[in-house]
Amino acid sequence: MLAPAKPINCPLASCLAWSACPTKKFTNCSDSELSLFRLPPSAPVTTPSTDTINRFDLYLRATSVLDSVFSHSPARNVAMPLDTSTYSMALLRVDGRRWNELRRLHAQIRTQSASDGSSYLEMGHTKVLCVVTGPTEKLASQRMASSSSSSLLDVNISIAGFSSVDRKRPSRTDKRVSEMAFTVQQSLNKAVHAAIFPNSTISISLTVLSQDGSLLASLFNAATLALVDAGIPMSDYVTACTSGSTSSYAAADDAADPLLDLNRQEEQELPFLTVATLGGSDRVCALVCESRVQVSRLEGMLAVGVDGCKQVRTLLDRVIRERGAKMIEEGAIARGDVVGAGDEMDTEED
């Protein structure tokens, strides 16, 4: 029995303690049950009236109903883990795509006339804006830091605070942003003919407006379009895409199917990698994998990613050709000034 003490006159505290007590008598309530409501073990609680208990039960039922309704709303499911158990039934992903389908890709070049080159790219709901400035002369500090006399690519990535559901703006010293900028810079250096512009700097500014998966791949593709628009000589397009697996690492399923172009929900649960290729060949210039994956799945994921890069290259090449044809029609450039990538020139033998 609890020692008598001054009763608590708060109806809500009485109802909370009343609902927590299994026997509806405070003689058998444990210390842990009473401590949940910050009630001292030696303090008895007055038994609430029947009307108060009925109203409190109605409140609990209404709260549980509202909880069940709002738990299925899209806003609550944004950060929830993805349920991939339905893939084996219909072989369709959460957004209705098959395993080898790309998301909608929309791209534009020459979006900002004041810059040397610019582009805008959408891969699904991931939106990236790129601006290229240069070539410009190197600064004195850059000349001292660089041992070679060739041009230097300077890549800066800025992520908007409203680009994701976190509503958090990363700082310029963010480690992940710095790693992505370094990866883009090193990969594009392999495609750009830097020896043509000695002692010069080419600045690439990337702004992320929205994030929905395949962020690094979108940065690669947007930078490639902007470099082509700026007239920077390149050996070929640098295109990137993501690929993943239908089962997580913990599932240990060697028969898992590979997936192409993952969205944000799929990246939160499934293992994936980002692959960038040079041109329409199978030459890989960048491969980034930040998740644990079985070695047996890696070959299939890489093959699907390389095939996705070829599809992306076809789409980007179409955008550039359409823009070039439009500029020729408007008279901005002469017809013989530009030779499209992949055009064959006939030669006559004497």
The residue to which tokens 């230097």 are assigned: 152
* Dist CA 281 CA 265 (whole Å): 30
Question: Is there a single domain that holds both residue 223 and residue 181?
Answer: yes
List the structure tokens of 273: 């990698």
pLDDT digits (tens, 9 = 90+) for 219-228: 999 999 999 9
Extract the runs of DSSP E, i.e. beta strands, from the chain.
Answer: 105-109, 117-123, 126-137, 152-159, 200-210, 238-245, 258-260, 272-278, 284-288
Question: Is there a single domain that holds both residue 231 and residue 295?
Answer: yes
Question: Is there a single domain that holds both residue 60 and residue 157?
Answer: no
Question: Is there a single domain that holds both residue 289 and residue 163?
Answer: yes
Confidence of residue 141 (pLDDT cuts 50, 70, 90): low
Question: Is there a single domain that holds both residue 299 and residue 212?
Answer: yes
Instruction: Give the residue among 190, 103, 199 at the shortest CA–CA distance from 142.
Output: 199
**Phi-psi label, residue 214: left if phi above 0, alpha if psi -120 to 50, beta otherwise:** left
In a domain? residue 112: yes
Most confident of 138-152, 260-274, 325-339: 260-274
pLDDT digits (tens, 9 = 90+) for 178-187: 999 999 999 9
Question: Is there a single domain that holds both residue 55 and residue 108?
Answer: no
What pLDDT is recorded for position 254? Answer: 63
Question: Is there a single domain that holds both residue 26 and residue 125?
Answer: no
Average pLDDT of the chain is 76
In a domain? residue 348: no
Residue 253 has pLDDT above 70, yes or no: no
**The domain containing residue 17 runs over which residues?**
11-67
Cα distance between the two ends of the chain = 116
Question: Is there a single domain that holds both residue 23 and residue 132?
Answer: no
What pLDDT is recorded for position 59? Answer: 57
Higher pLDDT, 68 or 236: 236
In a domain? residue 108: yes
Contact predicate 15/53, CB 8 Å: yes
What pLDDT is recorded for position 47? Answer: 55
Number of domain units in the chain: 2
Instruction: Give the residue among 126, 305, 282, 291 at the shortest CA–CA distance from 218.
Output: 126
Q: What is the DSSP string of 86-122?
A: THHHHS--TTS--TTPPPPEEEEE---TTSSEEEEEE
Residue 164 has pLDDT above 50, yes or no: yes
Contact predicate 99/84, CB 8 Å: no
In a domain? residue 272: yes
Strands 126-137 and 117-123: antiparallel
Which residues on neighbouring strands pair with residue 120, listed in sequence order?
A: 108, 129
Question: Is there a single domain that holds both residue 105 and residue 50?
Answer: no
pLDDT digits (tens, 9 = 90+) for 185-229: 999 998 999 888 888 889 999 999 999 999 999 999 999 999 999
Residue 142 has pLDDT above 80, yes or no: no
In a domain? residue 61: yes
**In the predicted model, what is the mean pLDDT of residues 49-64?**
59
In a domain? residue 88: no
Contact predicate 181/155, CB 8 Å: yes
Question: Is there a single domain that holds both residue 183 and residue 142?
Answer: yes
Higher pLDDT, 284 or 344: 284
The CATH number of residue 320's host domain is 3.30.230.70
Question: Is there a single domain that holds both residue 224 and residue 321?
Answer: yes
Residue 336 has pLDDT above 60, yes or no: no
Give me the sign of the Cα torsion angle 23, 24, 25, 28: positive
In a domain? residue 288: yes
Strands 238-245 and 272-278: antiparallel
Q: What angle do CA 162, 166, 170 make, to 5 degrees?
A: 70
Instruction: Give percent above pLDDT 70 in the chain.
Output: 62
Higher pLDDT, 345 or 291: 291
Higher pLDDT, 86 or 172: 172
Confidence of residue 41 (pLDDT cuts 50, 70, 90): very low
Higher pLDDT, 4 or 313: 313
In a domain? residue 74: no
Question: Is there a single domain that holds both residue 211 and residue 269?
Answer: yes
